[in-house]
Amino acid sequence: MLTFLGHRLVQLVPTLFFVSVIIFSLQQLLPGDPALVMAGEERDPAVLEQIRRQYHLDQPRPVQYVYWVKGVLTGNLGESMRIKQPVLDLILEKLPVTIQLATMAILIALLIGVSAGIVSAVKKDTVWDYGANAFALWGISTPNFWLGIMLIFLFSVKLGWLPASGYVRLSEDWRASLIATIMPAFVLGNAIAAILMRHTRSAMLQVLESDYVRTARAKGLLERTVILKHAMRNALTPVVTLGALEFGTLLSGAVLTEQIFSIPGFGKLIVDAVFNRDYAVVQGVVLVTATTYVVLNLIADVTYILINPRLRS
Amino acid sequence: MAEAAFAASVLPNRSSPAADSPARRMLRRVVRRKSAVLGLLVIALFVALALLAPLVSPYVPTAQDWSAVRKAPSAVHWFGTDDVGRDILSRVIYGARASLLAGVVSVAIAIAFGVPFGIMAGYLGGFFDALISRITDAMLACPFLILAIALAAFLGPSLTNAMIAIGITTTPIFVRLTRAQVMAVKVEDYVEAARAVGNPHWRIALVHILPNVLPTLIVQATLAIAAAIIAEAALSFLGLGQQPPAPSWGSMLNSAQRFLVNEPWMAVWPGLAIFLTVLSFNLVGDGLRDALDPRER
C-alpha cells in the first residue's frame, strides 16, 4: 500500500509540473505586449515599465516561469487587477459557495443515478430499464444552462415555488440557503446522475452474474437481501470512487450554473475575471481546480484500494 | 461436379467479397439499431438545414423588424421573434451552421493532434510515452470547460478561437484512447509478422495498427462531437464563442434569459435544437459502440 502511495505521489510531480506549464503558457497566448493588456487604459511608458519589472516581463520566459512557480509555491497567485485583492483570498472567499453547491449536486446525483442504475440492472429489459436508460441519455444530452433556464421558468416564474437566483450562506439561514441552492444543485447534478446511472447499471449487471450472487440465491436468500447486501456493496465500490473523478465535470458545470442562478461562487469568479480581462484570476482558478482534481484523483485511487480487500494485498 | 459442390460449400463467396467485410458487418449492426438510425436521420436533417439555410430559412437571420419585436409563435413567425424582431426559426436554422461546424472542426483538431501523439506514445513506449502521458494527465486535470473558457479568454472571443479552445481541450482524450488501443494492438501476431518481414515503423503504425484502432476512434469522435456542440453553445452562451449579430444557439439562449418571464419561446427553440443535435450524436455514438462490442454480436 505504502509502495503504491509513494509511486502515485512520485507520478504527481511531473503531472503538476505540466499543469503549471500549461497555466503559465496561457498568459503567453495574449496577443501583443502583456504589459499593455495589464495596464488597461494606461499608456504611460513609466507605468508600463513598472508593470514589466513588477511581473518580471522584462526577463526571458523560463525566468518568468520560475518566478511564477516560486510565487505559487508560497501561496502567491498574483493580484486581481480589478479588485486589487490577492487572487488566493478571492478564491478562498468563493470556494465554500461552490463546495456547498457541488456537494449538494453530487448527493442528488448519487441518489438519482445509483437508484436508477440499480433498478435498471435488476429489472433488465423491462420498462424500468428502458426508462432509466432514456433518463441517462436525456441527462447526458441536455445542456445544463438550458435546463437551468427551463427550470427557472417552471418553478420560479410559473409556480413561484423557488427563487430564480441569489444565494444565502448556510451559516446565515440554512433553510433559505437550501431553498436557494436546490434548483442549481439539481441542474448541476443532473448530467452526473446520468453518468453514474450508466456505470451503476453496468457494474450491477456484472456483479449479478457472478458466482457468489448465484450462491447467495441458491442458499434461498430473499432477492432483496441478495441485491442490497451482496450485489450492491461490490457494485458500488467503483461507482463511489467515480464520484470523485466527476469533480471536473462538476466544476465545469458550476461555471454555467452559477452564471444562470447568479450564485457568487468559483464559476462566476472565472467568468467575471474573463470579461474584465483579469488574467491572474483566470490562471489562479484553473490552477486551483487542476490541483484539486489531481489530489482528488489520488484520494479516489487510495480509497478504491482501501475498500477493495483484493487490491489491498 | 461433386468437387465443385464441395468447393462452393467450404470456400468463401468470391463474387461478393465486400458483403462480409468488417465495415459492412458493422454497418449492418448499426442499421439494426432503430435509435442509431433515428439519430442519423436527425443529424442529416440538421446538416441539410445548415447547408441549405439561405434557401429554407424564411427570413434573413440578422434582419431586425421593429414592428415585430418579441412576437409569440404564429403563422408568420413559426418560432416567434426575439427582442429586436429577428425571426427565431431563421436564427435556429443558421445557428446549426455554427454548432455543427464547431462540433466537427474542434473534433478534427483533436484528432489531428491526438491520434498521431497517441500512436507514437503507444507504439514507441519508453520516455516518449511517459512524457506524452504526463502532459495528457496534466491537460485532463484541468476541467474541460474551465480550460476552454481560459483558452478562449486568452485567445479572444470568436467562433474560430472557441473551436481551437475546444479542440485543444478535447485532444488529450484522443491521445489517451489511441495510446491504449495501440498498446493492445501492437502485440498482436499480425503486427509481429509485419515487423518480421521488415516493414518500417511508420508503415506498421499507419498500415497495420491505425486501421485496427479506427473503429474505436470513430465511436469516440461521434461522442466528442456531441460534447463539443454543448461546449460551443456554452462558450457562446458566456459570450466567448460566436459573436452577435451572427446567430448561434448558445448566444440566443443568453439573450433569451432576460425575457424569460413573458417570452419563454425565445429560450425553448435554441435549447431544443442543441438538445436534439447532441442527443442524435449520442444515439449514433452509442449505436456504433454497441455494434463494435463483441458481446453484442
| Structure confidence by residue, pLDDT tens digits, A5-44 | 888 888 888 889 999 999 888 877 776 677 777 777 767 8
How far is residue B235's CA from residue A21's CA, in Å, rounded to a whole number? 24
Q: Taking the CA atoms of chain B, what radius of gyration do you get in angstroms?
A: 24
How far is residue A103's CA from residue A246's CA, in Å, rounded to a whole number? 12
Listed residue (B175, B138, B157, B145) closest to A22, CA to CA: B138
Listed residue (A183, A227, A226, A199) closest to A113, CA to CA: A199
pLDDT beyond 70 at B9: no
pLDDT beyond 50 at B10: no
pLDDT at B1: 44
- Beta-carbon separation of A251 and B149 below 8 A: no
Q: Chain A neighbours among B 194-233 (CB < 8 Å)?
A: 226, 230, 233
Contact present, A261 and A147 (Cβ < 8 Å)? no
- Beta-carbon separation of A290 and B138 below 8 A: yes
Residue A83 to residues A80, A87, A93, A258: CA-CA distances in angstroms?
6, 9, 13, 20
- Burial (CB count <10 Å: 0-12, 13-18, 19+), residue A194: buried
pLDDT at B12: 47
Contact present, B84 and B69 (Cβ < 8 Å)? yes
B225: closest chain A residue by CA: A141
CB-nearest to A286 from B147, B155, B279 is: B147
If you average pLDDT over every residue of chain B, what do you get?
88
B54: number of CA atoms within 13 Å, CB side? 0
pLDDT at B228: 95
pLDDT at B117: 96
| Confidence band, pLDDT 50/70/90 cuts, at residue B8 | very low
Scan for cell 508503415, then name that residue: B203
- Beta-carbon separation of B146 and A270 below 8 A: yes
- Beta-carbon separation of B275 and A145 below 8 A: no
Bond before B245 cis per omega within 30 degrees:
yes
Task: Say whether B87 sits in a helix, a strand or coil.
Answer: strand
If you average pLDDT over every residue of chain A, what do you get?
87
| Confidence band, pLDDT 50/70/90 cuts, at residue A79 | confident
Which cell is B44 given? Answer: 442529416
Within its chain, how far is the Cα of B204 from the centroid? 28
- Beta-carbon separation of A29 and B155 below 8 A: yes
Taking 3-state DSSP, the helix, strand and coil percentages for chain A, each rounded to the nearest 5, stand at: 80, 0, 20
Mean pLDDT within B21-32? 78
Residues in chain B within 8 Å Cβ distance of A301: none
Contact present, A152 and B267 (Cβ < 8 Å)? no
Q: pLDDT tens digits for B159-176?
A: 999 999 999 999 999 999
More confident residue, B286 or B279: B279
Interface check B127 vs A, CB under 8 A:
no
Contacts of A181 (CB under 8 A, 6+ apart): A100, A101, A104, A167, A263
Q: Chain A neighbours among B 137-196 (CB < 8 Å)?
A: 137-147, 149-156
A153: closest chain B residue by CA: B260
Which cell is A80 given? Answer: 486581481
- Beta-carbon separation of B145 and A150 below 8 A: no
Buried b (16+ CB within 10 A) or exposed e, B27-66: eebbeebebbeebbebbeebeebbeebeeebebebeeeee
Mutate to test the interface with A, among B137, B170, B235 (most CBs of A within 10 A): B137
- Beta-carbon separation of B150 and A297 below 8 A: no
- Burial (CB count <10 Å: 0-12, 13-18, 19+), residue A31: exposed
Of the given ranges (A12-21, A33-42, B193-202, B266-275), which has the lowest mean pLDDT?
A33-42
Contact present, B148 and B165 (Cβ < 8 Å)? yes
Residues in chain A within 8 Å Cβ distance of B144: 248-249, 252
- Beta-carbon separation of B154 and A29 below 8 A: yes
Q: pLDDT tens digits for A182-211?
A: 999 999 999 899 999 988 998 899 888 889
How far is residue B6's CA from residue B256's CA, in Å, rounded to a whole number? 72
pLDDT beyond 70 at A78: yes
Contact present, B246 and B53 (Cβ < 8 Å)? no
Measured in angstroms, the CA of B162 and the nearest CA of chain A are apart by 14
pLDDT beyond 90 at B266: yes
pLDDT at A312: 63
Measured in angstroms, the CA of B263 and the nearest CA of chain A are apart by 10
Of the given ranges (A78-87, A205-214, B96-105, B123-132), which has the lowest mean pLDDT?
A78-87
pLDDT at B11: 47
How far is residue A307's CA from residue A157's CA, in Å, rounded to a whole number? 46
- Burial (CB count <10 Å: 0-12, 13-18, 19+), residue A22: buried
Neighbours of B243 (CB within 10 A): 14
Phi, psi of B81 (to 5 degrees): -125, 165
Q: Chain A neighbours among B 255-274 (CB < 8 Å)?
A: 256-257, 260-261, 264, 267-268, 270-271, 274
Interface check B291 vs A, CB under 8 A:
no
pLDDT at B15: 46
- Region for residue B12 given its phi and psi (left: phi exceeds 0; alpha: psi -120 to 50; beta: otherwise): beta
Listed residue (B99, B233, B143) closest to A267, CA to CA: B143
Residues in chain B within 8 Å Cβ distance of A201: none
pLDDT at A21: 92
DSSP state, B156?
-
- Beta-carbon separation of B141 and A19 below 8 A: yes
pLDDT beyond 70 at A311: no
Q: pLDDT tens digits for B105-143?
A: 999 999 999 999 999 999 998 999 999 999 998 998 888
Strand partners, A79: A86
- Beta-carbon separation of B238 and A274 below 8 A: yes
Residues in chain B within 8 Å Cβ distance of A34: none
pLDDT at A309: 67
